[in-house]
């Protein structure tokens, strides 16, 4: 398969920060008027051709009476200091050993920097000394993963400033959303349509982007929504939740779709009531239970969840998305075949070795049977079924398999292309830990970035122009980084032969 290089115009030299203030910015100024007030951003010396606007509030802080309520549009203020990240939403770091807290901490948020006042977004826009600065740029909106339990805007491997510095051709926006019991409480007192608050946060953030991104140099008609893991599931859930007003023109799903089996089935709301009982809020009416829990400090709630869940205490409790028939539905195949989704083009892909970082930790390598099952049942087979459903109604889907194996991301020989390991290449952060990137790794990173940029620039024609054709039953998917091949191909029959619908065949080994 032949791929052309994108014709991305790069700046010929880096300029000092002081001189950038007099040049042509995609956003025209570090002072930008928005619907929530005038924001003041920054340019730093590490990426001097990128204007950064960090921690912009798009909703009122969900505290007090607004805790466990749908997000409320932020009331305008006169001035917003957008020169530093806001805290991430309440969460805890598990003490259970894993690839992420031992080898790859760049996927975790800054320790301890959390707050309920977290409904903010971050914007990275290019500064250019060439071209027509009135041209609006394509926008990619990032939704982080973390099993709906963790994640945030200040995650080292997921900061896109180096990518924007290189491309000078697109804008990246990251949206914070509520997590675990704060984002997906499933409390009895809430309306049926308000159970998945984290998804409502994502939608309000996208509405803010639609209303304001032009002021930052972005094109409101070219917004693509990109997520990974739980963020990728969120993208597909969003795809079905807003079929007639999607805001976005393209979707990118890395390792997760609406078929990925991660959710909570608790129709009697016992999980929330169990936690409430621990804090003296039990044996109350549903409204009184919620009112009582709103008085408990978020850190105390997270500390309880950490102790309970890390210890494996029984019965198990979970706070994940539930079927509410507003943001998450019961039968996605039926809805897809009835064209009950946005019907915009999508990139959908998985990694060759997803499961090794998600099953029980062993420094010498996990149980391979368990790891293979996780790869197939959580990621590859759900992606296959999602793709087939989209194809059945004529909506283009561009499939990939990531197989890169780089020691500065996967330092142990058994890790390979584990879950999330493609992200440092896309964000341009592969060299922040465990040593510099190899020339092959850097070249692959640039090629993947350029293809993602081609898609968000034109979701219909961008990738075919680069040689990446949409899914067909007997066609191929793009394979990134296998062996010494930058961009190769793998037959869809090979990707689909190990699956029976959304489930992996017993004992099947994921294609490599």
Residues with catalytic function: 229, 354, 419
First to last CA, the chain: 18
Residue 186 has a CB neighbour count (10 Å cut-off) of: 25
Q: CA 26 to CA 10: how far, in whole Å?
A: 14
Dig out the tokens for 243 from the structure. Answer: 């079929």
For residue 499, give the H/E element and its range: strand 499-500
Dig out the tokens for 91 from the structure. Answer: 């969460």
Q: CA 259 to CA 388: how far, in whole Å?
A: 12
Residue 330 has a CB neighbour count (10 Å cut-off) of: 8
- Sign for the pseudo-dihedral over CA of 32, 34, 37, 43: negative
Dig out the tokens for 235 from the structure. Answer: 């993208």
Residue 270 region, left (φ>0) first, then alpha (ψ -120 to 50), else beta?
alpha
Contact 359, 374 (CB under 8 A): yes
The distance of Cα 254 from the centroid of its chain, to the nearest Å, equals 8
Contact 285, 273 (CB under 8 A): no
Q: CA 438 to CA 187: how far, in whole Å?
A: 49
Dig out the tokens for 83 from the structure. Answer: 């020169």
Q: CA 129 to CA 223: how far, in whole Å?
A: 24
Beta strands 487-491; 171-175: pairing state = unpaired
Q: CA 325 to CA 132: how far, in whole Å?
A: 45
28 phi, psi to nearest 5 deg: 70, -25
53 bridge partner residues: 123
Question: What residues contact residue 336 under an 8 Å CB cut-off, 6+ apart?
Answer: 240, 386, 389, 390, 392, 393
Q: CA 49 to CA 167: how far, in whole Å?
A: 10
- Nearest CA to 126 out of 230, 19, 53 is that of 53
What is the torsion angle, in degrees rounded to the nearest 10, for the CA atoms of residue 170, residue 176, residue 177 and residue 178? 170
Longest dimension (CA), the chain: 68
């Amino acid at each position: 398969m032949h791929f052309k290089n994108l014709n991305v115009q790069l700046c010929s030299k880096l300029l000092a920060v002081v001189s950038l203030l007099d040049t042509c910015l995609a956003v025209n100024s570090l002072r930008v008027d928005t619907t929530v007030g005038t924001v003041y951003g920054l340019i730093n010396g590490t990426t001097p051709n990128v204007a950064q606007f960090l921690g912009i509030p798009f909703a009122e802080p969900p505290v007090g009476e607004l805790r466990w309520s749908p997000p409320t549009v932020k009331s305008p203020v006169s001035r917003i200091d957008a020169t530093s990240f806001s805290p991430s939403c309440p969460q805890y770091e598990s003490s259970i050993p894993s690839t992420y807290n031992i080898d790859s901490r760049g996927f975790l948020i800054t320790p301890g920097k959390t707050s309920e006042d977290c409904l903010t977004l971050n914007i990275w826009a290019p500064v250019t000394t060439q071209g027509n600065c009135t041209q609006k740029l394509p926008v990619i909106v990032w939704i982080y993963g973390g099993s709906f339990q963790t994640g945030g805007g200040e995650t080292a491997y997921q900061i896109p400033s180096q990518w924007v510095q290189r491309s000078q051709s697109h804008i990246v926006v990251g949206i914070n959303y509520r997590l675990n019991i704060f984002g997906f409480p499933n409390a009895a007192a809430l309306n049926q349509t308000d159970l998945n608050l984290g998804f409502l946060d994502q939608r309000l953030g996208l509405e803010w982007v639609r209303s304001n991104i032009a002021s930052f140099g972005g094109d409101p008609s070219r917004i693509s929504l990109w997520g990974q893991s739980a963020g990728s599931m969120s993208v597909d859930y969003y795809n079905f939740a807003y079929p007639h007003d999607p805001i976005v023109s393209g979707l990118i799903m890395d390792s997760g779709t609406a078929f990925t089996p991660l959710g909570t089935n608790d129709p009697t709301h016992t999980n929330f009531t169990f936690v409430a009982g621990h804090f003296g809020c039990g044996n109350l009416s549903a409204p009184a239970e919620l009112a009582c829990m709103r008085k408990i400090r978020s850190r105390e709630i997270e500390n309880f969840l950490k102790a309970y869940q890390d210890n494996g205490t029984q019965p198990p409790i979970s706070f994940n998305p539930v079927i509410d028939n507003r943001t998450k539905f019961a039968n996605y195949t039926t809805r897809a075949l009835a064209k009950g989704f946005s019907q915009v083009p999508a990139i959908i892909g998985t990694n060759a070795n997803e499961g090794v970082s998600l099953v029980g930790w062993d420094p010498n390598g996990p149980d391979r049977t368990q790891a293979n099952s996780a790869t197939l049942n959580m990621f590859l087979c759900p992606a296959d079924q999602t793709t087939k459903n989209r194809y059945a109604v004529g909506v283009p889907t561009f499939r990939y398999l990531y197989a890169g194996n780089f020691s500065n991301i996967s330092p142990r020989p058994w890790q390979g292309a584990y879950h999330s390991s493609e992200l440092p290449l896309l964000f341009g952060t592969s060299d922040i830990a465990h040593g510099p990137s190899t020339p092959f790794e850097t070249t692959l990173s640039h090629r993947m970035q350029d293809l993602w940029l081609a898609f968000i620039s034109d979701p219909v024609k961008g990738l075919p122009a680069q040689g990446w054709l949409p899914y067909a039953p007997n066609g191929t998917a793009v394979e990134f980084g296998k062996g010494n091949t930058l961009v190769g191909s793998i037959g869809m029959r090979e990707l689909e032969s190990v699956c029976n619908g959304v489930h992996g065949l017993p004992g099947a080994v994921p294609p490599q």
